[in-house]
Amino acid sequence: MKLNRNFSLLLLGQSLANIGDVLYIVSVISTIFVLSGSAIAASFVPFTIASSMFISSLLTPLLVEKLNLKWLLAGSQIAKTILLLILGFMLIGLTGDNYYFIFLIIGWIAFFDGCANPIRQTLTPYYVKPEHLIQANGISETITQVIQAGMWFVGSSLLIIMSSQQLIWLVGGLFLLASLLLCLLESVNNHETTELKGKFEKIKEGWKTLSNTPVLRRIAWIEFLETIAATVWIAAILYVFVNDALNVDEKWWGFINGANFLGLILGSAYCIKYSSFVEKKIGTFIFVGSFLSFLFTILFSLNSIPMISLFLSLCVGLFGQIKKIPQQTVIQTSVSKEQLSTVYTSLGAIGTGIFGVGSLVMGVLADLLGIRIVFVISGLLLAVVSTIAHKNKQLFVRNVME
């Protein structure tokens, strides 16, 4: 697959934005912890981000109807850049008494981020031919996972040689460059009709499409169950597993987390290299990926040997990604391009909303039932996912929608 200009700009612009997102969150968490001395206050950063992105997912369809997708994506990035510069100036006068103003800014940045994510996924089929979608999604996922895996370490290292405010200015430069690149994208016609619908009707549109399209209805259920299952891999729960179940020190938390990210990257690389084979058997890959994710999660929950845990964590990431990329292609080709943005915002609302609640529930269950039990629950949820995937394999195909 030869990367075309628009997809390259989209990929580079979003990659710079994603790098900036991780670095600025590292800076914000460090600042809040220094000012407040409270780990609980720092933990409200991901909660604030998830809540804002959930609200954004619900409201984005109202903007999609009135704005061009290219300018909606570029505009959201420009808004993030302006907010980040405001945050940079705010850090000058912040103390332990007024640090909570940071949460207002990061909430708004997350709101615009929640708008940008479904738009990026929607734009991919506009800029990439249908037969190249698996490769395009694989490349996008690989870059995203590499950024996620590496930037937390890079951000922590940068804080050794520069202040939080200096790191914010660096991110501001990345955001500005990302904004310029996204402005260079070719505009797309994402409006089927000039008729404007009522606000409530527009918000409901994506949910109605999910409900009325058999394959998307199944994917919505899969997304719901997988999101709950994925909450056991958040830092807090995995940290407890390393200490209580494996009885090793905290460095193994980093190793196991890193193995999971490596699995995600390898899964993306496989889908890129063997995209034509994956495309011919999309339903099989979705089923096998979900079934093996279930199997390795259960084995992970029962294992007590740290080195084996590394391998099992890698396998969970690998087969989860081998399932996710073909599934992404099914979503992108199951409805018309004009409907995609509202479909992705609805799926995004499921993901962010359920993840926030699921993380809390899994944390409570870990305290009440034990850390191994929550991983067993996660595995059983993935077993249900694999059952849905097996029963509906014939639905999981790439359709060519014009």
- 247-300 tens-digit pLDDT: 988 778 778 888 898 999 999 999 999 988 998 899 999 999 999 999 999 999
Q: How many CB atoms lie within 10 A of CB 340?
A: 28
Question: What does the pLDDT read at residue 194?
Answer: 46
Best-predicted range by mean pLDDT (8-12, 89-93, 125-129): 8-12
The tens digit of pLDDT for each residue in 110-168 reads 999 888 888 888 888 889 888 888 888 888 888 988 888 788 778 878 888 888 888 99
Residue 306, pLDDT above cutoff 90: yes
The whole-number average pLDDT for the span 92-113 is: 83
Residue 176, pLDDT above cutoff 80: yes
Q: Which residue has the higher pLDDT, 235 or 224?
A: 224
Cα 298 to Cα 44, 221, 229, 291, 385, distances in angstroms: 30, 21, 12, 11, 14
Best-predicted range by mean pLDDT (18-27, 99-108, 310-319): 310-319
Tokens standing for residue 14: 């979003």
331, 348 in Cβ contact below 8 A? no
Question: What does the pLDDT read at residue 171?
Answer: 93
Q: Which of 227-236, 299-308, 367-376 has the lowest mean pLDDT?
A: 227-236
What contacts 320, CB < 8 A, 6 or more positions away? Answer: 263, 264, 267, 289, 293
Q: Which of 131-135, 182-186, 202-206, 279-283 has the lowest mean pLDDT?
A: 202-206
Best-predicted range by mean pLDDT (92-101, 139-148, 196-205, 266-275): 266-275
Best-predicted range by mean pLDDT (37-46, 160-169, 310-319, 330-339): 310-319
383: confidence class by pLDDT, cuts 50, 70, 90: very high
Residue entry with tokens 């697959």: 1
Cα 112 to Cα 253: distance, rounded to the nearest angstrom: 31
- What is the value of pTM for the model shown? 0.79
Tokens standing for residue 41: 């206050």
The whole-number average pLDDT for the span 81-91 is: 89
96: confidence class by pLDDT, cuts 50, 70, 90: low
- Full set of structural domains in the chain with CATH: 5-187 (1.20.1250.20), 201-395 (1.20.1250.20)
Question: What does the pLDDT read at residue 78?
Answer: 95
Q: Which residue has the higher pLDDT, 181 or 49?
A: 181
Best-predicted range by mean pLDDT (102-116, 305-319, 327-341): 305-319
Cα 212 to Cα 210: distance, rounded to the nearest angstrom: 6
268, 141 in Cβ contact below 8 A? yes
Cα 400 to Cα 402: distance, rounded to the nearest angstrom: 7
Residue 90, pLDDT above cutoff 50: yes
402: confidence class by pLDDT, cuts 50, 70, 90: very low
Nearest to 15 by CA among 174, 186, 183: 174
Dihedral sign, CA of 191, 194, 198, 199? Answer: positive
Cα 191 to Cα 234: distance, rounded to the nearest angstrom: 38
Nearest to 115 by CA among 52, 189, 160: 52
69, 125 in Cβ contact below 8 A? no
Q: What is the mean pLDDT of the chain?
A: 86
Cα 184 to Cα 175: distance, rounded to the nearest angstrom: 15
39, 97 in Cβ contact below 8 A? no
Question: What does the pLDDT read at residue 19?
Answer: 92
325, 284 in Cβ contact below 8 A? no
What contacts 198, CB < 8 A, 6 or more positions away? Answer: none
Biggest alpha carbon distance in the chain? 62
Q: Which residue has the higher pLDDT, 90 or 321?
A: 321
Q: Burial letters for 163-177: b for 16+ Cβ neighbours within 10 Å, e otherwise? A: ebbebbebbbebbbb
What contacts 123, CB < 8 A, 6 or more positions away? Answer: 10, 69, 70, 73, 185, 188
Question: What does the pLDDT read at residue 3?
Answer: 67
Question: What does the pLDDT read at residue 207?
Answer: 87
The tens digit of pLDDT for each residue in 56-75 reads 888 888 777 777 888 889 99
Tokens standing for residue 287: 């089923």
Work out the burial of residue 18: count CB atoms within 10 Å of its CB; fewer than 13 is exposed, 13-18 middle, 19 or more buried: buried
H or E element: which one contains 85?
helix 69-93
